[in-house]
Every structure is written in C-alpha cells, then in structure tokens.
Structure 1
C-alpha cells in the first residue's frame, strides 16, 4: 500500500467488502483503512492491478489486469496474450488461469499451453484448419494431452508403472524420486500437487472465427454490436464446479455406488472444481499420492487432510481436464465487439449484486461498452482496468479505498484477473 500524508483513516465492516471472501469470523471488525484522494487512489489501483495493453495488429488490442490488494499474499491467477505463427499466418491465443493450492502448476500451464496449441495447429494442414470442428478438436486435445503429461512424466520413471507401486519398497521409491538425474524431475513431480483452471480464447488469422475452451470456473463473455451504440452480451461458459448441478450429476453418474464421490458440495469432500489441469491426486489411484507425492523431499509433514479424501478415492479419475469448446463466427469487415475473459474472482466481486450469471455478464458488457461507445475499440484506455474499477466501487472513492487499503494480513477479496480482447 502507498504511504500518503493526505489520506484519512476510515473503518470498514465485513459487509462493506465486496465478494464472499470475508465474514464476521474474520474480525475483529471494524478494521481501519485509508481513504485516498482520487489521484492517489488511481495510482494505487494501477500499482496493484498492473494493467497491460497488447497490440494485436493494426486493428485489434487486448487489455489485462491481475488484481490482489493483499500485498503479503501472492496471487495464484495468471493470464497470457500471445500471437502464434502457424503456417506463416498469425493466430491470437488469450488465456486466463486460476491456480489453487500453489502457483507452480498455474505458472507451468500459462507458459506451456500456448506452445502445445501452436504445435498441434502447425501439425494440421491449412485446409483442415478452415474447418471450425478441427480447431475445436485441437483445443480439446491440447488441454487433455498437456494434463496427461503431468502425471505421465512421473509414472514413466517407475519400473512397471502404477501396477508395480503397491509392492515397491519405500526406500526404492525415495531413491527414484530424490536421486533422479533429471534436474527438472522434482519440479515435475510437484506439478502433480497443485491445480489450475484454464480458459482459452483462439482467433484465426482472418478474424472469421472465435473459439473458447474452458476447464473450470473462469468465465467468458462475448459482447457484440446490436444496433447503433447498442450491444448484447452472451455468456459462453458454464462453471465446472460443485455449484453446478449438471457437473455434480456427471461426476456421480461416473462413480455409481460411491456416495462420497461428491461430499459437502466438493469432489471427494475436498475440491470445489470438477474440471482442472493438474490436481493429480483426484485423477490417479491413491497409491500415486501416498507412494510418490508423500515421498518427495521436502514434503508434507501432516498428510491427514490428504488421507481423508484419498480413502474415498476408489475409481479415479474424479475430475477431468476435458474442456467445453464453443465456436462463434465473426465478420472480419465489421466491428465484432469484444471478449471478456476473467477468473472467478470477478464474479465473486459482483455476487452480492447479481445472483444470475447472465445478468452479471450483461452488466460487465454494459460497463465496457460505455467506454467503447465514447472512445471506440481502438482507444488507448485499458478496458480491463475500467471494468475492475467499477467492480470494486466505481466512483465511490471510499468503497474503492476500502478494497485497496484494508488493514488485514490475509486476502479480503479473491484473486481477480480480467482480459478484454477486441474482435
């Protein structure tokens, strides 16, 4: 937090903090915060959200923020905006990733998944890439094959694979893990311990097609023209977590006779998302975690929390990395609007205002469209930063100050990442 002599101290109650991250038990309440003057507030917001702008050719741009105001906590969100040269032509890849349990797997995914997508696109022919179904298949294969490799890189070093682990002495397992000659092996093993969602958007070189592939509970909103200075917002994603009854039913149907496959609205009673990259203890037999991950040094001193859900692990996998892929046609000769990609932290900031996700998406689209109507899609204003500012209080300087400067040593809002891409 910036230090300022002009700031006045206020006090905040938990009901004044947007989202669901804090409650009455996170007291003592009220807590102090600094009421910042507008210039200081704008500066602090930029320092914290780290807004970036990306030029995507002569007509298109993207804007991103990654926001966590608790400065003693490192955000586990990541995003990436890349242009992929495939057969001499440029595709645009945009991704938002929400990590959990740690940032190793989310960092790995944000860096490597665009590379895998580029390799698979390059392995297809230009003619086949004209078929939207082929690109949808590639996005699905890129995500699932990338995820399989996380555990596969570890299993392949054990003679006999998973089948041999049950009878393998612990000393042998520890030697294989901790004395492996591959300098990256321990890092690869630790990738199995963590997980991340993945929301990816891909636009073809002619801007005729948009694909969105989603694993987890990030959200994508397609905002397109609907008359002069009018826009319509379409939510392109569904949430892959245990709040989604369809996802719960899918997991239950895949594990008949296992009443604890979903327990207390969590997979195996432990994990909220139903689709993720990583989170290998939910995808491999329990021996994988107990025999391999427990023997990584330095490892977990207390494994009791893991053991509780591993005892329920009877017929893995319980979560999947299979994405839902959505395709939309674009018109390259007209303004197609823009795409909002965000982690679930943005929805959480609005959860006290809207319970309906489509209404929430429409409000996000309206906020950004007001800026676009004034400045056009080629404006220099960071659209993601504008949407973030509205989401934490807008013109209410005290409200924004509360979010930015609350005196608390643990996060009071969820990590929030927003990428807005013009189409």
Structure 2
C-alpha cells in the first residue's frame, strides 16, 4: 500500500466512530481532489482488459482504510487457457483469522479449475461441455481442494486421526514445526500445510465460457453476486442476485446444520456455527470440520502454540459430530444474452457500508448505480464511493481518515465485470 497523499487543507475534528460506538476519534476533512486521490491510494483501482474489441473487461478495487491493518480479502481476475480457448475466471475471497488460507485458495483454485476443464476439453476442436458438467466440475474442484487441506496434514501421521491420541506433544511438534525444512525460517512444507487448517475463507467466483454465452457462479459463504442488465437508455433494466448467503441470516442454512446434527442445540448458537463462526460454508477452518482431537493435538502444537485455549475449548466442547461447516458450494448457471451485461462480485464489507438497509434494497442500489455508470474510469471504484457516501465529502472523510489503531470497517473488495 502506497503512502497517503497530503491533503490541501487539514482540520482535526471529532467524529462518532461508525457502528454506533460511543468512542470518538479525529478525522481529516477532505476537499474533492484530495478525496479522489486518497480513495485511489486506499482502494488500488485496477482495470484488466481481456478483449477490448468486445468490451470484455474487469474493474477491481480492494479497500481497507486503516493503514495499520492488512486486508484479508483477495481477488482473482484471469483467463484460463484451455487448449487455446479462453475461459474467464473472476472471484473474491474473504479470509478470516489470518491470510494463509485465503492466499492459498486465491492462487490454487483457478489452477485446479483449469486442470479440471482440460480433462473434459481435450483439444481446441472439442465440443463445449454441457452446463451441468461444468457445474459438477466447479463443485468438485472446491470440495476436493478443501478436503486436501486437513487431509494433507493427517497424511503426515501414519494412522491418521486415531494415531494422534498416542503421540506426545513433542512428537507432533517435530512433525508440524519443520523449520529446518526446504523453506527455511518461514517453516517447512509440513508447517505451511498445517497453517492452512488454522484459518478459513469464503469463496465466490464466476466462470464464463470463451463465447461469453454461459456464466457459472460458485459460492461458499456470504459474499455477493449480482447480474446487472442495463437498458438501452443507460438505466437499469433488471438485476438478479446470483447467490444465497451462507450465514446466520439464512434460515435454510441454520436448518441444514441443525438437521445434520440432531440433538445438538448448540450446533448453531446466536446465529453462529457452534456459537463461534459466522460463515456456515467456507474453505479451511479445520477446527469446525475435524474432530476436536485434531485441533487439540495438531493445531495447539503448531508454532507458536495457543496462548489461551479457553475460547477454543468453548466451541470444541460442542464439537461432537463434525463437520459443522460445509465446503459444498452452490453453483448456478445462466445463459448470457445481453451484450452489455455486468457482473458484480463483492465481499461482505460492501453490504456492511449500508447501515440498516436490507439485502434487496442495497443490491438494487448497486445494480442501478453500476448500470448508470457507463464511461466511468472504474466501475468498482465508482460503486465504492457511492457506498461510502457519494458526494457527501464530510461523510466519506469520516469513513476513510479516522485516526484509529484498529480497523473500523470490514475489508471490502469489489469486482465489476463487463460480460
């Protein structure tokens, strides 16, 4: 992240901290030019052009205004070359607890999808796979990728889970903390594998075929996908939400977990899985997918260890019949028939900027604003500014220049893709 530009005029005032907190903190009121530069520095807007002649491009921002914090969001926007055919892969990933798993996912998942496509598209003249086959490819890519995260660690111990109880802490530490391995001081291969089990990430990605006739959206977690169709007059003609939310706001997700764990009233508590974690489906988070012995013996022994296991033990005591978090994605398919269709992919930080607005209301607002944004230098940046306050310079200044040590808003990543 680059340095923040010096503002033309600086006044230190007091502002209420977002989120109805009684805390007060200083901020810097910005004039228009300074606000534009500050937003660009914080959001790092990027435009990737896949096909200029056909207007196939992707606008991206990834935003965290707290300079003392590193974003745990990641994004992907690339073309997958499958025997000369160009499939477009775009996605947003919202990591939690740490960034090892989200980084691993954003890097490897497109590779796995490409390899899976190459198995069914064997040459440049191969017929296009049917929509259901692609849906299965994407679903299997995610579940097998997630299974390997804990599976690769268990392979380090002959006998797997059943062998952990009879091993000493020192024996387990010698396996997972291989700091003298080929990766040197950053930890060896075993350590890197085990770290992935500590953290988790949501995943929301889109795949578009080479002819741009078909769109698939795969989802785990609570990011947002919206298909936008502008009208001929430059206004919004229609929009469609392309994913359900896998969190406690979705009664179907709560019912699914409780149905899978009968007699366990604390499988969902206070809208969270085992009373602890918000997403009901994600990649990683092995502590919610493996028996408690995996966490107590492997993860507790992973360097630097768990200083205070008390919070972990609260939910591990409820972990009776894992897995509680699913890695099975929802995958939907849509035919693309409009030459100006746009796709919005966003992490949940965007929705959290709409205080008090329901999902339908805020999604409709995004769709309208993006549809009317023809000619904008970056539609994702345009949408971010709108969500932060639009033309209200004072409101945006308070949102992006608060003088605080810790983040006051969630990481926010937005992709707007011209299909």
Q: TM-score, normalised by structure 2?
A: 0.93
CA distance in 1, matches of 2:128, 2:296: 43
Pick one of 390, 393, 398 that aligns with 1:394: 390
Query: Partner of 2:50 in structure 1?
Result: 56
Residue 407 of structure 1 deviates from its aligned partner by: 1.6
- Number of equivalences: 404
State the 1:370 CA deviation. Answer: 1.3
Deviations 1:67-89 (A, max 9, x none): 11010011111111010001210
- Of the three residues 404, 415, 418, the one matched with 2:411 is 415
Match of 2:160 in 1: 161
Displacement of 1:24: 2.2
Flag the 1:216–1:128 CA change in 2: closer, same or farther, 3 A: farther
The question of 1:130 aligning with 2:126 is answered no
Structure 2: runs of 5+ lacking an equivalent: 183-187
Give the whole-Å Cα distance in 2 for the aligned partners of 1:175 and 1:386.
51
1:339 maps to what in 2? Answer: 343
Task: Give CA-to-partner distance per residue, 1:308-329, whole Å, 9 cap, x none.
Answer: 1111100000001111011100
Q: 1:35 is paired with a residue of what secondary structure?
A: coil
**What is the SS of the residue equivalent to 1:371?**
coil
Query: Do structure 1's residue 303 and structure 2's residue 309 form an aligned pair?
Result: yes
d(CA) in 2 for partners of 1:72, 1:220: 29
* 1:362-412 Cα distance to aligned partner (Å, 9 max, x none): 11011111112xx3xxx6x10000000101011111111111111221111
Q: CA deviation at 1:226?
A: 4.5
- Residues 278-321 of structure 1, C-alpha deviations (whole Å, 9 max, x = no match): 00000000010001111112221111111111111000000011
1:360 maps to what in 2? 362
Q: Secondary structure at the match of 1:401?
A: helix
Picking from 375, 393, 402, the partner of 1:406 is 402
Match of 1:121 in 2: 117
1:11 — aligned with what? 14
Partners of 1:273 and 1:319 lie apart in 2 by: 8
**Whole-Å Cα distance in 2 between the matches of residues 120 and 128 of structure 1?**
15
Query: Which one scores higher on RCO, CA 8 angstroms, separation ≥ 6?
Result: 1
Quickly say closer, same or farther: Cα 1:128–1:151, change in 2 above 3 A: farther
Residues 46 and 70 (structure 1), Cα distance of their counterparts in 2 relative to 1, 3 Å cut: same
Distance (whole Å) between structure 1 residues aligned to residue 108 and residue 137 of structure 2: 15
**Distance change (3 Å), C-alpha of 1:336 and 1:4:** closer
Which residue of 2 is the match for residue 283 of structure 1? Answer: 289
Which residue of the partner structure matches residue 147 of structure 1?
146
TM-score, length of structure 1 as denominator length: 0.92
Matched, 1:243 2:249: yes
Measure how far apart 1:184 and its partner are: 1.8
Q: For the Cα contact (< 8 Å) 1:330–1:336, is it kept in 2?
A: no
* Alignment of structure 1 residues 70-149 onto 2, 5 Å: 70-125=66-121, 127=126, 129-149=128-148
Secondary structure, aligned partner of 2:218: strand
Conservation of the 8 A alpha-carbon contact between 1:232 and 1:362:
no
Query: Does residue 23 of structure 1 match 2:20?
Result: yes
How much is the aligned-residue C-alpha RMSD, in angstroms? 1.6
CA contact (8 A) 2:43 2:64 kept: yes
What stretches of structure 1 of length at least 5 have no aligned partner? none
Classify the secondary structure of the residue corresponding to 1:185. Answer: helix
